[in-house]
Amino acid sequence: MTQIEEAKKGNITEEMKYIAEKEGIKVEELRKNVAKGYTVIFRNVKHDWVKPVAVGRGVRVKINANIGTSRDIVNLEEEIEKAKIAVKYGADTIMDLSTGGDLDEIRKAIMNAVNVPIGTVPIYQAAEEQLRKGRAIIEMTEDDMWNAVEKHFKDGVDYTTIHVGVTKEVVEKMKRIKRVVGMVSRGGTFLAAWILHWEEENPFYKNYDYLLELAKEYDVVLSLGDGLRPGGLPDAGDELQMSELFTLGRLVRRAREFGVQTMVEGPGHVPIDQIPMQIKIAKVATDNAPFYVLGPLVTDIFPGYDHIVGAIGGAIAALSGADFLCYVTPSEHLGLPDKEHVRLGVIASKIAAHAVNLTRFESDYKKDYLMSLARGSLNWTTQFEIAMDKEKFIEIRKERPTSTEACSMCGDLCAIKLINEMLREKGEADGAYL
C-alpha cells in the first residue's frame, strides 16, 4: 500500500516514524495529514536506500535543487558533484533535469551519489530520444511518453513532474490570450506543441487513471506541473495560469481517492504583493495540497542575482503557506549553473525556508537564540559552531583579521565590546555584575 493508503487505514509506517522523529512532531498528527493528502512522503518503494522526506502541513518548509546536463554541456562528474554540494548546503531533495547525454546513466548515477529523494521530468527524456533519432519532438507517440514515465518510476525516482493540466481546452485559450513572455515551462511546451500539432488531448490528462495506477505501484509522488506558470511579472495570475490550477485541483482529489500522493507546482514570476493571494488561491483550489513553488521571482531585471530575487519571493510564499521551495541560481535566465551557482542557490533558498521555519519550530528558533547569545558575548567559537556555512565564516574571518576580540568592522569601537567592558567595570565596583 502507498503512504496515503496506510495513513487512511490508521497505520503508521516506518517512514512516518522516521520523519516524525526527525521533524520533532507527533507521528499521529503526521499520519492524519498524510491521510488527508495535506502532506506527502517522498520515497519510491524501489528507492529503498533513500532517507524519506515529508513536504506539506505540519512539517518544515523544504527546498529542492535542480541539477542536470543540457544538450550543450554534458559532464556527469560535475553533475554528481553539484548534487553532493546541494545536499551539503541543505537541499532536501534533488531534481535531475538532464536533457543531454545518456539520461539513464546520469539519473542512476545521481541517485546513487546522494541519499535524498530524487525528482525528474520524464517527458524530457521522451523528447530527447526523439531528437536523438532525428525526429521532431512533436512526433512523440503516446507510448513514447508513457514509456519514459514508467522507466523513471521503475528506476526509483521519488517524485515526478507531470504536466497534466496542459489540456486541449487550455491550449485553445492560448490562441486568444496573448502573454508578454509566453510559455516558459519546457515540459509544458512539449505537450502544448504536441496537442496543437495532432489536435489530440494531452495523453496524461486523457489517461489520468493509468498514470495513477503507475504511481500507485511505486508510491511515486505526482508533482502536478505548472506548464502555464508566468514567465514574467506581467503574466502573473492570468486566465491561463488559473485555468490550469483549477484543473490540477480536480486531479488532486481524484488522486487522493485512488490512493496516490500528489503535490501541486506553482509560479514562477509574481509581483511581491500578489504572492500571499496566489498561495491562498492555490491552497483553496487544491484542497490544501502541498504547494511547490519556483522562487517566486519578484522582479525580472536582476539577471545574475536571481537566487536573491527567488529567496525574497520564497520567504514570502512560505510564510503565506507554500510548503516546498525550488531554488533559483544566479544562472537563471543566463545559462547552465556551475557548482558555485548551485551552492549559492541552495544557501539562498535555505535562508528563505529557515526564516519561516524558525517561526514555527522552537528548535529552529533556538539556533538563532544561541547565535544571539554568542554574538552578545563575542564568543566566536560558538558562532562558528552554529553557522550554517562554516567555510564562509572562516574565509571572511581570515581575510579580515583583527587584533581585538571583536571583528575588524569595528575593532576597539565595537558596541558590544564597549558596553560589556563598562558593565564589567560597573559590576566590579558595585558588586552587581554577574
For the chain, percent of residues with pLDDT exceeding 90: 91
| CA distances from residue 351 to 219, 267, 299, 368 in whole angstroms, order as listed | 31, 19, 19, 12
Q: Distance (Å, rounded) from C-alpha 101 to C-alpha 119?
A: 18
Say yes or no: 374 and 249 in one domain.
Answer: no
Count the domains in the chain: 2
Q: Distance (Å, rounded) from C-alpha 150 to C-alpha 233?
A: 36
Say yes or no: 181 and 273 in one domain.
Answer: yes
Is 21 among the domain residues? no
**pLDDT (average), residues 391-416:** 87
SS (H, E, C) the chain: CCHHHHHHCCCCCHHHHHHHHHHCCCHHHHHHHHHHCCEEEECCCCCCCCCCEEEECCCCCEEEEEECCCCCCCCHHHHHHHHHHHHHCCCCEEEECCCCCCHHHHHHHHHHHCCCCEEECHHHHHHHHHHHCCCCHHHCCHHHHHHHHHHHHHHCCCEEEECCCCCHHHHHHHCCCCCCCCCCCHHHHHHHHHHHHHCCCCHHHHCHHHHHHHHHHHCCEEEECCCCCCCCHHHCCCHHHHHHHHHHHHHHHHHHHHCCCEEEEECCECCHHHHHHHHHHHHHHCCCCCEEEECCECCCCCCCCHHHHHHHHHHHHHHHCCCEEECCCCCCCCCCCCHHHHHHHHHHHHHHHHHHHCCCCHHHHHHHHHHHHHHHCCCHHHHHHHCCCHHHHHHHHHHCCCCCCCCCCCHHHCHHHHHHHHHHHHHHHHCCCC
Single-letter amino acid, residue 408: S
User: Which pLDDT band holds residue 84 (cuts at 50, 70, 90)?
Assistant: very high
Phi and psi angles of residue 99, each rounded to the nearest 5 degrees, phi first: -135, 10
Say yes or no: 354 and 388 in one domain.
Answer: no
Q: Distance (Å, rounded) from C-alpha 178 to C-alpha 181?
A: 9
- Residue 173 near residue 239, CB atoms below 8 Å: yes
**pLDDT (average), residues 143-164:** 98
**Domain final position from 338, 360, 382:** 360
- Residue 384 sits in which domain range? 363-430
**Residue 430 confidence (pLDDT) above 80:** no
User: Which pLDDT band holds residue 433 (cuts at 50, 70, 90)?
Assistant: very low
**Residue 33 confidence (pLDDT) above 70:** yes
Say yes or no: 291 and 384 in one domain.
Answer: no
Query: For 342-394, how does the pLDDT look when each residue is reduced to its tens digit (9 = 90+)?
Result: 999 999 999 999 999 999 999 999 999 999 999 999 999 999 999 999 999 99
**pLDDT (average), residues 62-91:** 97
**Residue 428 confidence (pLDDT) above 70:** no
Looking from the CA of 387 toward its CB, the CA atoms found within 13 Å total 17
User: Which pLDDT band holds residue 405 (cuts at 50, 70, 90)?
Assistant: confident
Instruction: For residue 278, give the C-alpha cell.
Output: 496566489
**Residue 71 confidence (pLDDT) above 50:** yes
Say yes or no: 389 and 272 in one domain.
Answer: no
User: Which pLDDT band holds residue 401 (cuts at 50, 70, 90)?
Assistant: confident
Q: Distance (Å, rounded) from C-alpha 152 to C-alpha 220?
A: 10
Q: Which residue has cell 528548535?
A: 363
* Among 105-109, 144-148, 332-336, 411-415, the least confident range: 411-415
| Domain harbouring 228, CATH code | 3.20.20.540
Looking from the CA of 16 toward its CB, the CA atoms found within 13 Å total 23
Is 33 among the domain residues? no
Q: Which residue has cell 558596541?
A: 415
**Residue 423 confidence (pLDDT) above 90:** no
Query: For 245-261, how does the pLDDT look when each residue is reduced to its tens digit (9 = 90+)?
Result: 999 999 999 999 999 99
Say yes or no: 278 and 400 in one domain.
Answer: no
Q: Distance (Å, rounded) from C-alpha 434 to C-alpha 425?
A: 11
**pLDDT (average), residues 278-302:** 98
User: Which pLDDT band holds residue 427 (cuts at 50, 70, 90)?
Assistant: low
* Among 194-198, 326-330, 416-420, the least confident range: 416-420
User: Which pLDDT band holds residue 431 (cuts at 50, 70, 90)?
Assistant: very low
**Domain final position from 360, 386, 401:** 360
Per-residue pLDDT, 86: 98
Answer with the residue of higher pLDDT: 260 or 434: 260
Q: Distance (Å, rounded) from C-alpha 395 to C-alpha 294?
A: 31
**pLDDT (average), residues 62-73:** 96
296: nearest Cα among 224, 222, 226? 226
Say yes or no: 117 and 221 in one domain.
Answer: yes
Say yes or no: 304 and 370 in one domain.
Answer: no
Say yes or no: 265 and 394 in one domain.
Answer: no
| pTM as predicted | 0.94
Say yes or no: 288 and 376 in one domain.
Answer: no
Single-letter amino acid, residue 221: V
* Mean pLDDT across the chain: 95
**Domain final position from 305, 325, 360:** 360
Say yes or no: 332 and 350 in one domain.
Answer: yes
**Residue 434 confidence (pLDDT) above 50:** no
Compute and round to an integer the Cα radius of gyration of the chain.
24
Answer with the residue of higher pLDDT: 427 or 245: 245
Is 304 among the domain residues? yes
